[in-house]
């Protein structure tokens, strides 16, 4: 029995391995017309790829919605990237890894269908679009270093507003590698750490670049086929899901890509993207001058109002002080008059009291011949209170004399010493 006897499964494995080795999906691309395009269970895609010259010549194709991204339909011209495979039921087919439309007609159909699909999902809604910072410090730029858009963008950016740090990520903007490279760029920028409060926008801990304030996806103009990468569904969804606000400036003013509609800010050209991102230095200087002027005017008006208030307060205080001064002077005048009247009245009263006192002055009585008798400093008004022989003091109008009682009320000796 021969040693090289294989089972059917083993034989198919060898055939498929040889086919995959000699017909790699990225090197050999099959182009043809879609036929019988069907999506089953929202996951499996089955169709035939027909030869344009001979409709009877065709190859079966199989893929999934995870790999075949975009809107396709029968009759469209497409390019298929995939591996040839012989299935167990003796069917030869291509396992599709990626597919893209070819030709303006197919591209336009795919573009319109995908645009309608994304719009229905709300990817174009204006309410979800984010505003850009007025003065960005760090920008993530996604484009090709070989494209004219790269130089135009940087030139306008530096002419309008200097000092902005640009973190450039080189990608191809058309061709088979454009889509995966653009997706890798969005993945790179969105995985960068956000700068902490108080830190600069350049680098964070460990020398890792900080996340930019915004991203710019741009390229120059071209045909619908040239702009295919910017109409790719996966790229449009990457723009939509970006954590960082995205500005898209693709082509000329008349060019429209799906990324334009999804972006937070749409620019008509790469140069316009730079204009939308940073302000014009001259405009800012003018704005600052106008703000300074308005502030000076408001400050002058405020000072004038405060000065008017101070003047009013000063006048009010002056009026109050004048009124109180007049009131004080009036009261002082009344007090002076009252004091004069009181002084005159008091003087008259003193004169009256003086006359009365003079009338009752004991000295005047003594001058008329009377005398005052005292015993031990007490005035004696009743002779009965004296004892014979008691010593008394006699006060005369002129001088005093000491005496002894010889007799009281006619009794005793009548001798006065």
Tens of pLDDT, residue by residue over 222-232, are 788 788 889 99
pLDDT classification of 367: cutoffs 50, 70, 90: confident
Identify whether the C-beta of residue 201 lies closer than 8 Å to the C-beta of residue 137. yes
Using the Cα atoms of residue 85, residue 91, residue 97 and residue 102 in order, give the sign of their dihedral.
Answer: positive
Q: Does the pLDDT value for residue 318 go beyond 50? A: yes
Q: Does the pLDDT value for residue 248 go beyond 90? A: yes
- N-to-C CA span, the chain: 199
List the structure tokens of 379. 């005035």
| Strand partners for 368 | none
Query: How do residues 32-75 score in pLDDT, each as one tens digit?
Result: 988 899 999 888 999 999 987 887 888 999 999 888 887 788 88
The DSSP 8-state label assigned to residue 195 in this structure reads P
- The pLDDT score that the predictor gives to residue 414 is 43
pLDDT classification of 416: cutoffs 50, 70, 90: very low
List the structure tokens of 366. 């003594």
Identify whether the C-beta of residue 204 lies closer than 8 Å to the C-beta of residue 195. yes
Local structure of 249: helix, strand or coil: strand
Instruction: Give the span between the Cα atoms of 112 and 238, in whole angstroms.
Output: 19
Nearest alpha-carbon partner for 283 in 158, 163, 161, 136? 161
- The pLDDT score that the predictor gives to residue 26 is 67
Nearest alpha-carbon partner for 25 in 69, 79, 67, 83? 83
Q: How many CB atoms lie within 10 A of CB 417?
A: 9
The DSSP 8-state label assigned to residue 38 in this structure reads E
Of the ranges 80-89, 99-108, 167-176, which is most confident? 167-176
- The pLDDT score that the predictor gives to residue 370 is 77
pLDDT classification of 405: cutoffs 50, 70, 90: confident
Query: What CA–CA distances, in Å, run from 175 to 48, 171, 178, 244, 374?
Result: 24, 11, 6, 26, 152
The pTM score is 0.59
Query: How do residues 11-40 score in pLDDT, each as one tens digit?
Result: 888 888 888 777 776 667 888 988 899 999
Q: Does the pLDDT value for residue 413 go beyond 60? A: no
């Amino acid at each position: 029995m021969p040693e090289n006897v294989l089972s059917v499964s083993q034989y198919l494995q060898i055939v498929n391995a040889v086919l995959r080795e000699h017909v790699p999906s990225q090197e050999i691309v099959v182009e043809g017309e879609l036929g019988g395009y069907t999506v089953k269970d929202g996951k499996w895609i089955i169709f035939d790829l027909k030869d344009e010259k001979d409709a009877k010549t065709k190859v079966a194709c199989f893929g999934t919605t995870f790999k075949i991204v975009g809107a396709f339909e029968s009759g469209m011209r497409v390019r298929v990237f995939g591996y040839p495979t012989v299935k167990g039921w003796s069917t030869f087919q291509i396992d599709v890894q990626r597919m893209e439309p070819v030709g303006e007609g197919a591209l336009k159909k795919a573009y319109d269908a995908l645009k309608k699909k994304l719009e229905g999902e709300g990817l174009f809604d204006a309410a979800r679009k984010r505003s850009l910072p007025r003065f960005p410090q760090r920008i993530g730029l996604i484009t090709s270093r070989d494209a004219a858009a790269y130089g135009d963008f940087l030139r306008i950016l530096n002419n309008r507003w200097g000092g902005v740090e640009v973190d450039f990520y080189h990608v191809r903007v058309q061709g088979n590698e454009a889509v995966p490279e653009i997706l890798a760029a969005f993945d790179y920028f969105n995985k960068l750490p956000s700068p902490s409060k108080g830190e600069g926008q350049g680098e964070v801990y460990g020398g890792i670049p900080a996340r930019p304030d915004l991203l710019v996806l741009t390229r120059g103009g071209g045909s619908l086929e040239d702009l295919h990468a910017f109409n790719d569904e996966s790229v449009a969804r990457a723009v939509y899901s970006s954590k960082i606000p995205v500005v898209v400036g693709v082509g000329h003013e008349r060019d429209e890509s799906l990324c334009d509609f999804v972006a937070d800010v749409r620019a008509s050209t790469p140069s316009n993207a730079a204009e939308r991102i940073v302000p014009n230095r001259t405009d800012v200087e003018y704005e600052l001058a106008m703000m300074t002027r308005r502030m000076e005017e408001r400050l002058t008006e405020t000072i004038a109002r405060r000065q008017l208030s101070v003047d009013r307060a000063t006048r009010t205080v002056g009026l109050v002080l004048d009124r109180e001064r007049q009131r004080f002077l009036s009261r002082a005048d009344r007090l002076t008059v009252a004091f004069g009247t009181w002084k005159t009245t008091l003087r008259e009263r003193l004169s009256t009291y003086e006359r009365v006192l003079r009338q009752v002055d004991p000295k005047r009585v003594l001058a008329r011949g009377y005398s005052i008798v005292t015993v031990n400093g007490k005035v004696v008004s009743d002779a009965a209170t004296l004892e014979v022989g008691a010593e008394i003091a006699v006060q005369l109008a002129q001088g005093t004399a000491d005496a002894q009682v010889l007799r009281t009320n006619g009794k005793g000796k009548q001798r006065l010493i």
